[in-house]
């Protein structure tokens, strides 16, 4: 069900990324940064030797013509250690396909399981979470059911006189 994205998926990856930003963004859109990361993940052979920047993979559900969902992970590390971990950047499902099942799982459930499976494939732990005001509690319950208890919480504090972007401020 989940397969690795290839360069031929690029247009659909962009479509889903733009949809995810519109729905969940905490900050403004930087197309150059998205392109930089997508290039690193889709074309790792073009990364120069000695470049110590992030590497990653994208898991997708769907065909090249219509991707239904994606999960992007990179190899990251905390500032205080040399040990690496898998770090989820985005998990997103096109709203048109959120109620679809495959083998008894919703697409998001399949992607979270796929990310969890990568810990066994790589021997690296997974850092993932929910950064959203849209149905955040339900998403946390899903992650707790699939992954176990969380290890903390995040807070996004804005300076006085400012507010969260519209996509985040409008909670259902």
- Confidence bin at 167 (pLDDT 50/70/90): very low
Average pLDDT of the residues in 19-46: 94
Q: What is the pTM of this model?
A: 0.90
**For the chain, what percent of residues have pLDDT higher than 90?**
73
Range with lowest mean pLDDT among 65-74, 149-158, 159-168: 159-168
Segment holding 93, helix H or strand E: strand 85-93
Q: Write the CB contacts of 145 (distance below 8 Å, at least 6 apart in sequence).
A: none
**113 vs 145: CA distance, rounded Å:** 11
**Closest listed residue to residue 124, CA positions, set 45, 71, 56, 60:** 56
Among 29, 31, 32, 38, which Cα is nearest to 10's? 38
In this model, does residue 53 exceed pLDDT 70? yes
Domain 3-169 part of CATH 3.40.630.30: yes
pLDDT at 27: 87
Tell me the Ramachandran region of residue 141: left when phi exceeds 0, alpha when psi lies from -120 to 50, beta otherwise: alpha
The residue extents of the domains of the chain are 3-169
CB count in 10 Å sphere of residue 90: 16
């Amino acid at each position: 069900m989940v397969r690795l994205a290839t360069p031929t998926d690029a247009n659909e990856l962009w479509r889903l990324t733009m949809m995810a930003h519109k729905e969940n963004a905490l900050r403004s859109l930087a197309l150059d940064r998205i392109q930089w990361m997508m290039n690193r993940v889709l074309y790792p052979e073009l990364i120069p030797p000695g470049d110590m920047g992030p590497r990653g993979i994208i898991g997708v559900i769907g065909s090249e013509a219509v991707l239904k969902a994606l999960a992007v992970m990179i190899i990251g590390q905390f500032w205080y250690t040399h040990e690496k971990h898998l770090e989820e950047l985005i998990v997103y499902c096109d709203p048109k396909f959120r109620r679809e099942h495959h083998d008894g799982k919703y697409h998001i459930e399949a992607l979270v399981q796929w990310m969890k499976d990568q810990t066994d494939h790589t021997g690296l732990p997974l850092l993932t979470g929910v950064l959203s005001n849209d149905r955040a509690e339900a998403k946390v319950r899903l992650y707790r059911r699939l992954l176990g208890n969380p290890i903390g919480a995040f807070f996004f504090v804005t300076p006085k006189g400012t507010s969260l972007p519209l996509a985040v401020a409008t909670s259902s």
